Chain A
């Protein structure tokens, strides 16, 4: 069965600190897809990144970076030099390629960046 665990319920950091949000997943499939979404205080859900199981290269986009490690079933998200605008709830999600079109989300991590 597929499962996504975001063990960090809430993280507080001071502006300009680096912060890593953890995501651990479980799946029996060899082909699967991982995602991160951001939900700012305004409530909308914003897609950040998609990764397939065959691509373990780390991804960097500005201050955001993602570390995908199949050996530990983790897909962690790091924000470098955090800013107040990064304050949001972040969700990790998993989709398996085994014939269904379902997505499983973690419970989310609330990030508070203090000025």
Chain B
């Protein structure tokens, strides 16, 4: 158990509203990631973080922002949610600091944008 929790686990919101998803870890891992999972696309990286206040974009970052003000929390914000952002969102960590370490995932957040 990598000690990763996500909140909320389910959310239904309306187009145009802001939404923030939280990923919390208890092991002080340096690297944290946000992915979205959609049918036919697998897992796609939105943003990742390599330390407090250090973040970078992934392949599908448009419409999303992130913040990491402390090691244990990585927040994903949809500034103005759209229906195309309906998805399952997974947070992940790598337990080591070496490139190529395996990832461990949180339980996921199912977001529906109406």
Against B, the Cβ 8 Å flags (1 = close, 0 = not) of A16-33 are: 000000000000000011
Pairwise interchain contact B42-A107, C-beta atoms closer than 8 A: yes
Against A, the Cβ 8 Å flags (1 = close, 0 = not) of B32-50 are: 0101000011111100101
Q: How far is B114's CA from A62's CA once the two chains are assembled, in angstroms?
A: 45
Contacts across chains A and B counted by CB atoms under 8 Å = 58
Known interface pairs A95-B99, A101-B48. Does A44 touch B108 (Cβ–Cβ under 8 Å)? Answer: yes
- Judge if B94 is at the interface, Cβ distance under 8 Å: yes
Pairwise interchain contact B103-A108, C-beta atoms closer than 8 A: no
Residue of A nearest to B57 (CB): A102
Within 8 A of B (CB), among A35-54: 35, 37, 43-45, 47, 50, 52
Pairwise interchain contact B102-A44, C-beta atoms closer than 8 A: no
Q: How far is B103's CA from A100's CA once the two chains are assembled, in angstroms?
A: 14
Pairwise interchain contact A95-B100, C-beta atoms closer than 8 A: yes
List of A residues within 8 angstroms of B56 by Cβ = 100
- Residues on A lying within 8 angstroms of B by beta carbon are 6, 32-33, 35, 37, 43-45, 47, 50, 52, 91, 93, 95-97, 99-108
- Residues on B lying within 8 angstroms of A by beta carbon are 31, 33, 35, 40-45, 48, 50, 56, 58, 88, 90, 92, 94, 99-105, 107-108
A-B contact list, 24 entries, CB within 8 Å: A6-B42, A32-B100, A33-B99, A35-B102, A35-B103, A43-B88, A43-B108, A44-B108, A45-B90, A52-B100, A93-B43, A96-B99, A97-B99, A99-B99, A100-B56, A101-B48, A101-B50, A105-B42, A105-B43, A105-B44, A107-B40, A107-B41, A107-B42, A108-B42
